[in-house]
Structure formats: C-alpha cells, structure tokens
Amino acid sequence: MTAPRTLIGVDAGASHTTAAVADAHGTVLVRAEGAPGAVRLGGADGAAARIVDTCREALVKAERPVRGDVLVVGAAGAGRETERLALQAALEATRLFGRVHVTTDGAIALQAAFGDGHGIVLMAGTGSIAWARLPDGEAARAGGLGPALGDPGSGYDLGRAALRGAALALEGMAPRTRLAEALLRRLRLTGLEDLVRWAGAASVPAVAALAADVLELAAEGDEAAGTIADAGADALARHVAALARRYPRGAAVPVALGGGLLARTEEYRRRVVVRIMADTGAAEIRTAAVDAVLGAIHLARSL
C-alpha cells in the first residue's frame, strides 16, 4: 500500500520556527513550534538543524514517518541568495525530504494572504517588516532591518521604549508611571542598577516580551503606554504607506496584517488599522490575520 503524501510547510523566523504537516490536499494535520530558524551568513547548518528538529516534532505528532515528500521553508534572511542556497543545500543534505524548496518568509506570507494576487502584508512580532507584490508582479519590501537598525513598531521596539521610560523614571528625569512600575514588578527589579544589568544581558525576544505589558496598560488607558503604542502604530503604518506609493494612482491597495503582535493584540491591531487608513486612503484591510505557514503548505502542493 502506498504511503500517503506528506507535505511540510515551515515559517522560520528570528524568534521561533513553526512547522506544519499537511496531507496531499493541503489539510494541516498538526503544527509544532521550535527554536529560531532564520538564516544568517555562515549559519545555514545551524538554521537547518533547528528547522529539522521542528519538522521531526511535527511529523511525530502527526504519526507520520520522519520523512516528508515535500518541504517548503520560508526563512527570514533567505532574501539573500547566498544564504538561501546554503540553507537549501543544508536541508537537502539531511536526506529527510523528497523535495526541498527554500524561499523567503515574505513569499510565504504573501502567498497565504493573497495567493497569486497582489497586495501588501504587514508583519509585526519580535521584529517588523512589510512585503508587497505589486499589480505588475514586482516584489518590494519596507523595514525588516533588525533591532539595531530598525524594526519600528515591533515588540522589541515597544519593549525597548518601555525600558527607557523606566530608566528615566528611576533616574528622576521623568515621573514614575504605572508602566514603569509594572515593568519593575514583572522583572523583579528594585532599582536602576538592577534594570541596567537586566537590560544589558537581555535577549531581543526577552525585550520584545515586554510589549505585552505596554499594550495591556495602553488598552486600560495608561498615558505612557498609550504614547508608546501610538508611536509604534504610526511606524507600522508608514511601512504600508511606503509600499502603497508604488501602486498606480487610484488603485485599491489590499493590506493584510500578521505576526504575533498584531495577531494576538486586538487593541494594537486597531490602532495600526486606524493609522493605515489615515495614511493610505485606498487601503482595503483584510480581517483575517496572516498565517504564513499556510502559504508554505500551498506552495508545497504545487511542487
């Protein structure tokens, strides 16, 4: 008896990796979450190992053989051809997959949101980026420069702004706010020295996790948290506006939103949508959050 065809779609990001196992019809059977699978220069083998570990977990959960007929990976960092080819070669070398296709995380997000059509996808999680497939088929992007150079409006950006506010309050250069007090309680810190030590050792995901406190207090009407959330929403809307200017005059601009921060936080999503509509009057906002791994599964079906 022929074994059922197994498709695996992977969204390999800078904060985590999601792998989904689907049947030949593209119906997702299970998902698994794993360590970051984003690819960096010289890091293809490590990224491939983390992606494979996540795929193995998903296959075991699906009660399928630890082998996939088709693997499609959308990876952060794969927009650079050298890294894309290196990751593809590393995954092929495992001989765990009948066919491997590596593309960008933007490609699978656009596929999930618009299929083969045009539109803009805005993603905000630990980082932030927007991708577009323009009506003429050209690809474009805005943001995605990483925490050192960019990622405005991301979880990391909101968390960093909250830490700065807390530090200023502890130095007596700004008033003590509810947000500052909430961060100190969450981190179990008592003074400026503790805060400086924690911030100096904190990972990007650890700082990004503080965005939840910012947005919770913003929803409750806290002024300091609301100011940070509004600045982040403005920044994300500018990503969309920059790409929307590439559209023909008068054309409708389909926009979809995704990433953990926008998918999980309705209040922040609302702020972002309001600012997108103010900046880009032709925007047509899709209500469903983008599930990028479904784009990878869709591509796997076509291979």
Residue 10: phi, psi to the nearest 5? -130, 135
Please report, rounded to a whole number, the percentage of residues in the chain having pLDDT higher than 70: 99
> End of a domain among 111, 133, 167?
111
The total number of structural domains in the chain stands at: 2
> End of a domain among 111, 129, 144?
111
Average pLDDT over residues 15-31: 94
The pair of structure tokens assigned to 94 is 């495992």
Residues 179 and 258 in one domain: yes
Q: What is the pLDDT of residues 81-138, one digit of tens each?
A: 999 999 999 999 999 999 999 999 999 999 999 999 999 999 998 889 999 999 999 9
Residues 126 and 13 in one domain: no
In a domain, 300, yes or no: no
Enclosing domain of residue 260:
118-288
* Mean pLDDT for the chain overall: 92
Residue 94: phi, psi to the nearest 5? -70, -20
144: left (phi over 0), alpha (psi -120 to 50) or beta: left
> End of a domain among 92, 111, 130?
111
Residues 180 and 223 in one domain: yes
In a domain, 2, yes or no: no
Of 142, 73, 139, the closest CA to residue 103 belongs to 73
Find the CATH number of the domain harbouring 66: 3.30.420.40
With a CB cutoff of 8 Å and minimum separation 6, the contacts of 217 are: 178, 179, 182, 224, 225, 226
C-alpha R_g of the chain: 20
Residues 27 and 163 in one domain: no
In a domain, 279, yes or no: yes
Q: Cα–Cα distance between 200 and 42 in angstroms, integer?
A: 26
Residues 91 and 169 in one domain: no
Asked whether the beta carbons of 262 and 272 are under 8 A apart, the reply is yes
Q: What is the pLDDT of residues 218-239, one digit of tens each?
A: 999 999 999 999 999 999 999 9
User: For residue 64, what pLDDT band results from cuts at 50, 70 and 90?
Assistant: confident
**For the chain, how are helix, strand and coil distributed in percent, rounded to 5?**
45, 20, 35
Residues 63 and 144 in one domain: no
How many other CB atoms are found less than 10 A from the CB of residue 147?
16
